[in-house]
Each structure stands twice: as C-alpha cells, then as structure tokens.
Structure 1
Amino acid sequence: MQIDASIVAEGLGLAPSLLREEMRAGRITSLAERGVDGDSGRHRLTFFSEHRRFRVVFDETGTIIQRSAVDFGNSALPKSVRKISG
C-alpha cells in the first residue's frame, strides 16, 4: 500500500521535503499492517516521528477511511505508543 508523501507530512506536521530527509535519516519510521477477519481488505500504515504518531487506514480500493494523529508536543513519543496491538 502506498500513500502520498504530502498526506504523511501533513499528519506529522512537517514539510514534504523534510519528511523525506527525516525518513532517509531513520528519524521517521513506519509500520504497515494488513487487516484480518473482520478487517480483511483493510491496511493500516503508522508513521512515527520524535514527537508524533500518524496513522492511516485504507479500504481495499485504496481509499483512506480513517486518519488519526497523536502529538506529544515537546515530549518525546513514549515507547508504548510505538507498540501496535493487533
């Protein structure tokens, strides 16, 4: 599943050019998950920066059906937020 960089940049509160730099440097990471059972056909992409988590859920056609972001302000992203439960 692919997502436009501008959507991810907006979700993380960054300029698209900075997003690419941060990803290359390993300061922004991501997790891709595929739905099972009742969520079959859905995909969830989660992006992590130092202070923010951005998550997007797609349906089987690639349409975004949900977006969410958690911003921890000046605090670092807690390790527990980086753990995704399935």
Structure 2
Amino acid sequence: MSPVTITAGDFTVDADLLAAAFGLDQAAVKAKMQAGEITSLCEAGMDTDAGRFRLSFRHQTRMLKLILAADGAVLSKSMEVTGRPKRPYMLGSPDWVPPVRAG
C-alpha cells in the first residue's frame, strides 16, 4: 500500500512517512501540522510531468519532497536542509524582519 492516497484531488499522507523523515512520532507530526509547525505544498506537474505531483513538507530547517504518480505511488523522495528555521519574530526583537508583500 502506498503511503499517499489521492481521493478526489485530496492527498492523505501516512503520518509514519513524515514521522520518519523528521525524526518525530505520529502524535507529534499531527500536533505540529495542526499548529502550523509542519507546512505543506502541493504542485501539479505540467507538460512532460503532467499526471505527477510534488508534495513538499517543511519542518524547521528540513524540507521533504515527494514526487508522486497520479495513483499516489511515490516515485522519488528527497530531503533538503533549507537553512534557518522559520519562526515568528516579535515586533521590535533584534531578529524581527518586516513581512514582504507582493505588490
């Protein structure tokens, strides 16, 4: 069974896959996703990649990328280190950077 299920355009990823990738347990994965500490992005392939999807999951400084076939089969999996963890900064703190808005 694939760790990813696609139903009517919705993707369900087995928490074991994310837990293993980020060194967490299933409960921590679910809690961190609900808290917005693990974020996700889904992109549909175009042209020669039509029928494929890329799911990206970010937690602290790590990003897991899954390339999926149309049936949810995982074609490739990679982990990247992305630099500093994203975290909210308090206004006026030394690390605070004003948000950038598209214009």
Do both share a fold (TM > 0.5)? yes
Q: Is contact 1:12–1:69 with CA below 8 Å preserved after alignment?
A: no
From 19, 22, 43, the equivalent of 1:12 is: 22
Q: As a proportion of its length, which structure holds more helix?
A: 1
Asked if residue 29 in structure 1 is aligned to residue 7 in structure 2, the reply is no
Shift of 1:9: 1.6
Q: Is contact 1:35–1:42 with CA below 8 Å preserved after alignment?
A: yes
- The 5-angstrom pairing of residues 68-83 of structure 1 reads 68-71=78-81, 76-77=84-85
Task: Mark the runs of 5 or more structure 1 residues left unpaired by the alignment.
Answer: 79-86
Asked if residue 54 in structure 1 is aligned to residue 36 in structure 2, the reply is no
Task: Mark the runs of 5 or more structure 2 residues left unpaired by the alignment.
Answer: 1-10, 87-103
Shift of 1:47: 0.3
Runs of 4+ in 1 over 6 A off after TM superposition: none
Identity %: 32
TM-score w.r.t. length of structure 1:
0.78
TM-score w.r.t. length of structure 2:
0.66
Larger radius of gyration: 2
Amino acid paired to 1:18: A
Shift of 1:71: 3.7
Count of equivalent residues: 76
Amino acid paired to 1:76: R
Q: As a proportion of its length, which structure holds more strand?
A: 2
Structure with the larger RCO, 1 or 2 (CA within 8 Å, 6+ apart):
1
